[in-house]
Structure 1
Amino acid sequence: MSTRPCRSIFRPCIDLHEGQVKQIVGGTLSDSNPAALRTNFIASQSPGDFARLYKRHDLRGGHIIKLGPGNDDAAREVLAAWPGGLQIGGGVTDTNAQEWLDAGASKVIVTSYLFPSGEFSLERLQAISRTVGRDRLVVDVSCRRRGDKWLVAMNKWQDVTDMEVCKESLDLLSHYCSEFLVHAADVEGLCQGIDEDLVKRLGEWVTLPTTYAGGAKHIDDLSLVDRLSGGKVDLTYGSSLDIFGGTLVKFEDLVQVSYDPWKACH
């Protein structure tokens, strides 16, 4: 039995695609080849139903991600169901960020806007940070592995940028935001385990609250992430979770360990 409570926590998510809550294998999203898309789950419930579920259990700090066009109405439904409870990302820029905060988002999440033509723009980061305030901005450094490095991937994880996820880049970004979100796109939706190397490195590098998503398949992955990251990284579950059609992890069990952090680290 652990001698300390688990510091890493469960962060919920709502992925929206074509106006519905879905769980998608991250590497299969493609504008040029839509037929390649692999979907693990399409919800029969409304997007707002998931927000109400999270609200009922007071699970804060989760994220809504709009994967492509046609998701704005669904996103507004989610935010109206729990104002101030969830962050939102997907197509966020300095011109529409305040609109999403006004609609009820606790914070806005930004990626692609920061990388015009795939190259990082400090000016754009500074602009959106000034617009919404550092405390209401999350930078999404979702990434793909290239050898022994991880490079930020944008545009629904299709395009690899020029930014390496490392201590230097995270230190730079941390001056302008209050959190990081990291999808490991290569393992997203596969339910084959987290990228342990990436989680360990994030624990060494980050100085801000950070949420990792990708590959979680067992409730014990929460304690694994806690151990690997020294409690600095939180964990999102997707396709493995029963509320998303999975059979590997029960939502109620995650809720229970969220209320009992000693139980999470066993």
Structure 2
Amino acid sequence: MTLFRPCIDLHQGKVKQIVGGSLNDAGATENFISEFNAEYYAALYRDHNLKGGHVIALGKGNQSEAISALRAYPNGLQFGGGVNNTNAASYLSAGASHVIVTSYLFDKGEFSWDRLDKIKRETGTDRLVLDLSCRRTQDGWYIATDRWQTTTSTQINHANLLELANHCDEFLIHAADVEGLQAGIDEDLVALLGLNCPVSVTYAGGARSLADLKRVHDLSNGNVDLTIGSALDIFGGKGITLDECILWNHSQQEPGE
């Protein structure tokens, strides 16, 4: 069953929604800057029992906001953004249910199994999420690192998903080319993930309405969860409300869950 997963994106110390592909050292194209802090959103998700969401720190200057969110919703949020083997345990101690890692796993554009082993020693597989956010090319999707600006040689395909699933609890996959544009999800990528991911996977990018939750459910046979950002009313969007997402989750869950 496809569920809505909440998010808190932090950029320059503020909760924001940005166009993912625009992010670089100079800044980003911003869709929304919240008047509320990260703790506010964490408490909102906690009070509505929304689980499996993520806090992503996009660049520097977000540490205090990230920690306040994790402490507001202990074991209710995952954290990603600059996570490596030296700091992963500190985010888990601060309240993260999982840490999310991507750029650290690549050395000069090549996947590093040694680095994966090092971070697994700190987190175990059960508290590690691999961020396989990607960009589309002529021959498929490839993992993108360094705030989605560097496309690596590691492809999102059946063999790689199967192998990487042995080393983590979940995948998080942003479609960087459509992230923040509210122009629709990457349907081909969602379908591929639904067929090939043996662990829980959350897709993000382009979602704009309640219909997209149903579309992801249908395309993935209920095997892929969906994060909605810029289109959501709590982030200034007009496509879908948080209440609609909550009702959707309730409709998908079994009694007692």
Instruction: Bin the TM-score by the shorter chain.
Output: over 0.9
Q: What do residues 71-91 of structure 1 show as CA deviations (whole Å, max 9, x unaligned)?
A: 110000101111110000010
Alpha-carbon distance between aligned partners in 1 of 2:213 and 2:244, rounded to the nearest angstrom: 12
Q: Are 2:208 and 1:214 aligned?
A: no
The 4+ residue runs of structure 1 with deviation greater than 3 A are none
- Which residue number corresponds to residue 95 of structure 1? 86
Task: Tell me the number of residue pairs that the alignment of Structure 1 and Structure 2 aligns.
Answer: 253
- Please state how far the C-alpha of 1:131 moved relative to its aligned partner: 1.7
Which residue among 142, 145, 150 is the counterpart of 2:141?
150
1:171, distance to aligned residue in structure 2 (A): 1.2
Encode CA deviations 1:81-110: one digit per residue, 9 max, x unaligned. Answer: 111100000100011000000000000000
Report the secondary structure of 2:178's partner residue. Answer: coil
1:195 aligns to 2:189 (yes or no): no
Q: CA deviation at 1:148?
A: 3.5
Letter in 2 for 1:192: A
1:24 is aligned, of 18, 21, 24, to 18
Letter in 1 for 2:10: L
Aligned-residue offset at 1:130: 2.1
Q: Which residue of 2 aligns with 1:259?
A: 250
User: What residue identity is the alignment partner of 1:202?
Assistant: L
Match of 1:3 in 2: none
> Equivalents in 1 of 2:139, 2:149: separation in Å?
19
Q: For 1:183-216, what per-residue CA distance to the aligned partner results, in whole angstroms no more than 9, with x for missing partners?
A: 0000000000000000000011100000000000
**Aligned AA for 1:22?**
K
Secondary structure of the corresponding residue to residue 260 of structure 1: helix
Structure 2 distance, partners of 1:233, 1:173, is: 17
Spell out, residue by residue over 1:24-61, the C-alpha distance to the aligned partner (whole angstroms, 9 max, x if none): 00010112xx26x2100000011100000000100010
Task: Indicate yes or no: 2:43 matched with 1:49.
Answer: no
2:158 to 160, 167, 170: 167
Is 2:178 the counterpart of 1:178?
Answer: no
Task: Give unpaired runs (5+ residues) of structure 2.
Answer: none
How many Å separate the matches in 1 of 2:117 and 2:126?
13
Q: What TM-score do you get using the length of structure 1 for normalisation?
A: 0.93
Q: Does 1:70 align with 2:61?
A: yes
Alignment of structure 1 residues 219-238 onto 2, 5 Å = 219-238=210-229
Cα deviation per residue 1:232-262 (whole Å; 9 max; x = unaligned)?
1000000000000001111111111111228
Task: Specify every segment of 5 or more residues in structure 1 that has no aligned partner in the other structure, as ranges.
Answer: 1-6
* Counterparts of 1:11 and 1:92, CA distance in 2: 21
Structure 1 CA distance, aligned partners of 2:109 and 2:82? Answer: 15
Q: Which residue of 2 aligns with 1:14?
A: 8
My pick for the range that moved more, 179-188 or 156-165, is 156-165
Alignment partner of 1:175: what SS? helix
CA distance, structure 2, for counterparts of residue 65 and residue 86 of structure 1: 10
Equivalent AA in structure 2 for residue 171 of structure 1: L
Letter in 2 for 1:73: S
Q: Distance in 2 between matches of 1:144 and 1:257?
A: 29
Q: Decide which of 237, 242, 253 is 1:246's aligned counterpart.
A: 237
Q: Secondary structure in 1 aligned to 2:111?
A: coil
Report the RMSD for the aligned CA atoms in angstroms. Answer: 0.9
Q: Normalising by structure 2, report the TM-score.
A: 0.97
Q: Percent identity?
A: 52
1:113-160 deviation digits (Å, cap 9, x = unpaired): 001211100111111112210000000000000113000001111111
> What secondary structure sits across from 2:176 in the alignment?
coil
